[in-house]
Amino acid sequence: MGPYPRHVFGSVLVANRGEVACRVIRTLRRLGIRAVAVHSDADAGAKHVREADAAERIGEPPAPASYLNPAAIVEAGLRSGAEAVHPGYGFLAESPALALAVLDAGLAWVGPPPDVLALTGDKVAAREAFGTTGFPVLPGAGPFHTADEAVAAAADVGFPVVVKPVMGGGGIGMGVATDPGELRRAVETASARGGRFFADPAVMVERFVSPARHVEVQVLFDRDGRGIHLYERECSVQRRHQKVIEETPSPAVDPGMLERMTSAALRSMRAIGYAGAGTVECVVGRGGGFWFLEVNARLQVEHPVTEVVAGVDLVEEQLRIAAGDGISLGGTPPRHGHAIECRVYAEDPERFLPSPGRITRLDTPAGVRADFGYEAGDEVPMFYDPLIGKLVVGGEGREGAVAAMRAAVEGTRIDGVKTNLPALLRVLAGEPFASGRYDTGLLGQ
């Protein structure tokens, strides 16, 4: 970790909730920065509120009335005397509208500029921008507003195809189609969810690669265009296109491939004027080819595995960049060991359906990094993503890290709500994950 930033902020508002809000607050407290939480009525007594130095109410429980309301967040920042806004991940973390509103109010935005967010949030525009820099892209087309348009385009792209909402991320609305009938149904779903979650029903289609792995590159860029990479992360254990287990290094990436991926990611992110922490996500084929998937213009849920092996606090680096001090690192640091993260959700371990309710017990093993947004006695609300927290372990090698994570999951006790801990243990104990020979189909599509 670098020295204390010379011009870092005295007070930062964390425009999020749950695990990520607690994670950001932890770094703010370490740096001696006043942490301001925001909360809906459902979160008035939540862990992130308890851990902050101050808290501001921003509305009623439904997310559009609180965590998805840019005006309420900016007003909370001004009321609290905050100098900057850190958006975390999810909700409005990649919203150009919130970034612009924050900057217009005279506050600092801990993230990329609004115009960059507008570009990276549009999958079609981002594909085109990365393609012009030489980053490999799959055959694809869009945006489309009707199933007929998508079916006509798929004839040229070639089945199977994956259908995605043009805006947004996190796997929301994605679907795979192997024929025109499936494509029409997938377009209907993607369009509906794109309109609901991202206020844009437009969709795109792209050639679907199977089997495939999901590998991403972590980068940092300061406001002067200086950028470094912090290696790659493997994110192929997914359910419904959403990540569940992540690790670094990736078992599928050799040194030559790592050099090609990181060079391409740095070149393309520099070309679009990126600033801050960001991730370039790729799909990797069986033969070692890789193609652009999307940019996550924010802190990733899985960032702790990078912190473990690279010895970097990514939240501190975000604050430094936003404050104008730049990256604390002279270059890419050496990577030590192997790290794995498991996301622990309040959900049924068989059907993966949310299981809100009151947590009556929450114990994690000593010596394991446990980034949790809840404690025993806390309520997991029905209104938000059911992520309870994350278990993160490191080891000298992959075999040791896998064993350590199995022990961590086995030693975690959560009562009062159903959790995916049994599902995590099944994956960790299975031969595909233990061998490293797995892909995005491990838990089904």
| Domain boundary residue, one of 69, 89, 110 | 110
The verdict on 259 and 380 lying in the same domain is yes
Share of the chain above pLDDT 90, in %: 88
Q: Which of 140-149, 175-184, 390-399 has the highest mean pLDDT?
A: 390-399
CA distances from 309 to 233, 236, 276, 388, 393 (A): 11, 19, 20, 24, 10
Q: Which residue, among 365, 359, 363, 372, has the nearest Cα to 418 in the 3D structure?
A: 359
CA distances from 140 to 88, 134, 154 (A): 31, 16, 8
pTM, 2 dp: 0.94
The verdict on 363 and 320 lying in the same domain is yes
Question: How sure is the predictor about 174, in pLDDT bands with cuts at 50, 70 and 90?
Answer: confident
Query: Residue 198 maps to which CATH number?
Result: 3.30.1490.20
Which pLDDT tens digit goes with each residue over 381-426?
A: 999 999 999 999 999 999 999 999 999 999 999 999 999 999 999 9
The verdict on 413 and 326 lying in the same domain is yes
The verdict on 269 and 336 lying in the same domain is yes
Overall domain count for the chain: 3
The verdict on 241 and 342 lying in the same domain is yes
Task: Tell me 43's DSSP state.
Answer: G
Average per-residue pLDDT for the chain: 94
Domain containing 152 equals 139-207
pLDDT at position 167: 83
The verdict on 393 and 244 lying in the same domain is yes
Residue 42 domain-assigned (yes or no): yes
Q: Which residue, among 253, 236, 254, has the nearest Cα to 245 in the 3D structure?
A: 236
Structure tokens at 425: 């243990």
Question: Quick check: 168 pLDDT over 80?
Answer: no
Question: Quick check: 198 pLDDT over 90?
Answer: no
The verdict on 80 and 217 lying in the same domain is no
Which pLDDT tens digit goes with each residue over 237-290?
A: 998 888 999 999 999 999 999 999 999 999 999 999 999 999 999 999 988 899
92 backbone φψ class: left, alpha, beta (φ>0; ψ -120 to 50): alpha
The verdict on 311 and 382 lying in the same domain is yes
Q: Omega before 334 cis (within 30°)?
A: no
The verdict on 92 and 144 lying in the same domain is no
Helix, strand or coil for residue 393? strand
Residue 122 domain-assigned (yes or no): no
Mean pLDDT (whole number) for 185-205: 88
Residue 128 domain-assigned (yes or no): no
Residue 443 domain-assigned (yes or no): no
Residue 279 domain-assigned (yes or no): yes
Q: What one-letter code names the amino acid at 211? A: P
Residue 123 domain-assigned (yes or no): no
Question: Quick check: 6 pLDDT over 80?
Answer: no
Mean pLDDT (whole number) for 115-119: 97
Residue 390 domain-assigned (yes or no): yes
The verdict on 305 and 234 lying in the same domain is yes
Question: How sure is the predictor about 2, in pLDDT bands with cuts at 50, 70 and 90?
Answer: very low
The verdict on 188 and 324 lying in the same domain is no
The verdict on 192 and 152 lying in the same domain is yes
